[in-house]
Structure 1
Amino acid sequence: MTRQHHLKGVLLASIACILWGISGVAASTIFQLNSQITALWLTQVRMISAGIILLVMGQVMGVKPTKIWRNRQDSLRLVSYGLLGLVPVQLCYFEAVKYGNAPIATIIQFLGPFIISIYFFLFKHVTPQRSEAIGMIMAFIGTLLIVTHGHLTSLAISPVVLFWGGLSAIGVATNTLIPRPLLQKYGSMTITGWGLLVAGVCLTIFKPLWQVHVQLTGMEISLLLVIIILGTVFPFLMFANSLSYILPTTASLLDAFEPLAATIFSITFLNVQLTGFDLFGGSLIILAVMALSLNVRKMMRLLHRRRTD
């Protein structure tokens, strides 16, 4: 692997994470502009549109995305990925953005890797490394600062934001763990495309898109396209492509660009006011997740060794 390839991978993963952060800011803007738009409606449009685009691209590129439906077990896992992984990581995130703001929602969602670590500890009996334990403490302190602003007897953010943000963090964990066996077998374009489409279609059970009449201005349509194309299709493809040049652990470290981008763009373009507690707490969480990411490979090797013993 040459230095240029490594740099290409870093740039692809970094830009993908920045685009995800911008997507949250675009969603926050569209919620402010149009009260008719709900998090459910936006998630349905985003998932169905992006899913169709990815699957059509896969078919054109000869990936044969329909092949997965011939295997019953893989099909069930794919549906689980859509409903238990993508729905919470996107719908719950948009709910947190709507009731709060993009930076806080993204930072809370960023706690997802610690839920993965807890899962491995409880169900796979993988003992956390010292750096992981320190990271968990840092993340807990950071979250406490954001939630209370130093006043332990009261909440500084709405419980609704904390609820939806917490569910989106759990979604990050399930979104990472559930599709792992499928990705190597079918590729990220097929799994992501079908996962998005299945999840989006299933969400129409709660409120069919054709029963919701939303009038959109030119600006709102532009923001919707940003969320679908720049905030979903492009970053998923770029992040998946980056893994051909860099290690997954390196890519996961670059995830820190997502909350950073959401914070910078929200402050710059939406005049979102963040306190020193929010900034310091968010910084602690980002540093903690980066420390955790350094031990992901050790965790996976230990788990693989225990499976083969």
Structure 2
Amino acid sequence: MTQRHHLRGVLLASTACILWGISGVAASTLFKQNSAITPLWLTQIRMITAGLILLIASQVSGQQPWQVWRQPRTAGRLISYGLLGLIPVQWCYFEAVKVGNAPIATIIQFLGPFIISIYYFLFKHVTPNRSEAIGMVIAFIGTLLIVTHGHLNSLAISPAVLFWGGLSAIGVATNTLLPRPLLPKFGPMNITGWGLLVAGIFLMAMHPLWLVHVTLTWSQWLLLLVIILLGTVAPFLMFAHSLSDILPTTASLLDAFEPLAATVFSVLFLNVQLTSFDLVGGLMIIFAVMLLSMNVRKMMTLLHRRRLDS
């Protein structure tokens, strides 16, 4: 791997994470400008449109998107990925953005890697090492600062933000774990495309899109395109391509750009007011996740050795 390729991978992953952060700010703007737009409606539009774009791109590039449905086992896992992974990580995140704001929702969602670590500890018996344990303590303190602003007898954010943000953080974990066995064989474009489409169709069945009457201005159409193209399709392709140039651990460290971007753009363009507790707590969570990410490869190596020994 040359230095040029490494730099390209870092730039692609960083840009992808920034675009994901911007999509949260764009969604927050839509919710404020148009009361008819709900998180469920926006998620349906985003999932179905982005899923179709990715699958069409996969078909055009000869990646055979229909292969994944030929085996019941892989089809079942793909459906689980869409329903249990993508729905909470996208719909619940937008719900947290609407009842709160993009920076806080993104920071709470950023706790997802710790849920993955807890999963490996409980079900794979992989014990957190010292830096991971320290990271968990720092993340807990940071979350406590955001939630209470230093007053342990009261909440500084609404329970709804905590509820939806917590579900989106769990979604980050399931969104990471469920598709892992499918990605090497079928490719990230196919798996993500089908996952988005399955999730979008399920949400449509739960609450049909046409029951919500939404009239958009030209600027709101533009924000919707930003969320679909720049906030979903483009960053996915960039992040997937970056993994051929940099290690996954490096890419996961660059995830910190997402909450940072959501915070900066919300303050600049939405006049969102964040307290010192929010800023310090958010930085603590970002630092804690970076500590955890630096040990992901060691954790996966240990898990692989245990599988070989069993």
Q: Per the shorter chain, which TM-score range?
A: over 0.9
TM-score, scaled to structure 1: 1.00
CA distance in 1, matches of 2:42, 2:169: 19
The answer for the alignment partner of 2:239 in structure 1 is 239
**Mapped partners of 1:263, 1:73: distance in 2:** 41
The answer to whether 1:59 aligns with 2:55 is no
Q: Distance in 2 between matches of 1:305 and 1:71?
A: 28
Measured in 2, the distance between the counterparts of 1:294 and 1:211 equals 46
2:171 corresponds to: 171
Q: Aligned residue for 1:304?
A: 304
For residues 40 and 193 of structure 1, what CA distance do their matches in structure 2 show? 19
Give how far 1:210 is off. 1.8
Aligned residue runs from structure 1 range 265-304, under 5 A: 265-304=265-304
TM-score, normalised with respect to structure 2? 0.99
Please tell me the residue identity of whatever aligns with 1:89.
V
Separation in structure 2 between the aligned mates of residue 206 and residue 82 of structure 1, nearest angstrom? 14
Q: Distance in 2 between matches of 1:216 and 1:207?
A: 20
What residue number does 2:16 align with?
Answer: 16
2: distance between equivalents of 1:71 and 1:228? 30
Match of 2:111 in 1: 111
Which residue does the alignment assign to 1:74?
74
User: 205-214 or 221-230, which moves further after superposition?
Assistant: 205-214
State the alpha-carbon separation in 1 of the partners of residues 145 and 188 from structure 2. 36
- Name the structure 1 match of 2:124: 124
1:26-175 matches, within 5 Å, as 26-175=26-175
1:214 is aligned with what amino acid? Answer: V
In the TM superposition, what is the alpha-carbon distance from 1:213 to its structure 2 partner? 1.4
CA distance in 2, matches of 1:74, 1:210: 32
Map of 1:202 onto structure 2: 202
CA RMSD of aligned residues (A): 0.4
- Give the CA deviation at 1:205: 1.9
How many corresponding residue pairs? Answer: 309
User: What code does the residue aligned with 1:53 have?
Assistant: I
Q: CA deviation at 1:55?
A: 0.2
Cα distance in 1 between the residues matched to 2:198 and 2:67: 15
- Opposite residue 305 of structure 2, the aligned amino acid is R
> Which structure 1 segments of 5+ residues have no match?
none
* Residues in 2 aligned to 1:134 and 1:303: alpha-carbon distance in whole angstroms: 21
User: What do residues 220-272 of structure 1 show as CA deviations (whole Å, max 9, x unaligned)?
Assistant: 10000000000000000000000000000000000000000000000000000
- Structure 1 counterpart of 2:85, one-letter code: G
Instruction: Give the drift of 1:214.
Output: 0.6
2-structure distance, mates of 1:262, 1:197: 26
Amino acid at match of 1:47: M
- How many angstroms apart in 2 are the aligned matches of 1:272 and 1:123? 40
- Which consecutive segments of 4 or more residues in structure 1 shift more than 6 A? none
Q: Deviations over 1:197-227 (max 9, x none)?
A: 0000000122101222111110110000000
Counterparts of 1:103 and 1:58 in 2: how far apart (Å)?
A: 33
Q: Distance between the aligned counterparts of 2:39 and 2:147, measured in 1?
A: 22
Counterpart CA distance in 1 for 2:197 and 2:243 is: 24
Q: Which amino acid aligns with 2:165?
A: G
Name 1:186's counterpart in structure 2.
186
Cα distance between partner residues in 1 of 2:226 and 2:58: 21
- Letter of the 2:12 partner, please give it: L
Deviation per residue, 1:76-110 (Å, 9 max, x gap): 00000000000000000000000000000000000
Q: Gaps (5+ residues) in structure 2?
A: none
The percentage of aligned residue pairs carrying the same residue is 77
* Counterpart position of 2:264: 264
Letter matched to residue 206 of structure 1: M
- Cα distance in 2 for partners of 1:105, 1:213 equals 26
Q: Which amino acid aligns with 1:235?
A: P
